[in-house]
Homo-oligomer: A and B are copies of this chain.
Amino acid sequence: MSNQLKEALDTLKETGVRITPQRHAILEYLINSMSHPTADDIYKALEGKFPNMSVATVYNNLRVFREVGLVKELTYGDASSRFDYITSQHYHVICEDCGKIVDFHYPGLDEVEHLASHVTGFKIGHHRMEIYGACPDCSAQKAH
């Protein structure tokens, strides 16, 4: 069992969230998957291990993980949300042609948050940012 998974399970224990086999498996999948899966991806991936698992379970637990801060939800309008196990502060660069998502490390935009707080009077908690474009593969294809 990976260190990250152990830490994640500890977090659950500390916050009083029960550790069920389903939760264990979903977390494990999120940590091992280097992608940004949808709830349905996870559901399908775990079908073998849990033939009776309900989609609702996946959604419920992703919400639980989000609430305890283990997972970040990336929303895209009517398309499915994607879920990202939080390791370090990073942003996402998204290909508008094929949908590929690449992590992009960048220092947090603290300055923007401060200015926003000053200008609007909000108490700022966090922000999201995504960068859109064409990945190398897709822009090569379009160059024809």
Q: Which label, helix, strand, loop or mixed, suits the secondary structure of the A interface?
A: strand
Docked CA distance A115–B104 (Å): 9
Copy total for this chain: 2
Report how far A140 CA is from B116 CA in the complex, Å: 18
Name the distance in Å between A89's Cβ and chain B's nearest Cβ.
Answer: 13
Q: A77-B75, A122-B95 are in contact. Are A131 and B104 (CB under 8 A)?
A: no
18 additional contacts (CB under 8 A) given A102-B122, A113-B131? A75-B76, A75-B77, A75-B78, A93-B116, A93-B120, A93-B124, A96-B125, A104-B119, A106-B116, A109-B109, A109-B112, A122-B134, A124-B131, A124-B132, A125-B134, A126-B132, A128-B128, A128-B132
**Contact between chains at B133 and A117 (CB < 8 Å):** yes
Interface size for A (C-beta < 8 A) is: 39
Closest Cβ of chain B to A99, distance in Å, is: 13
Do A135 and B112 form a contact, CB below 8 Å, given A76-B75, A129-B129?
Answer: no
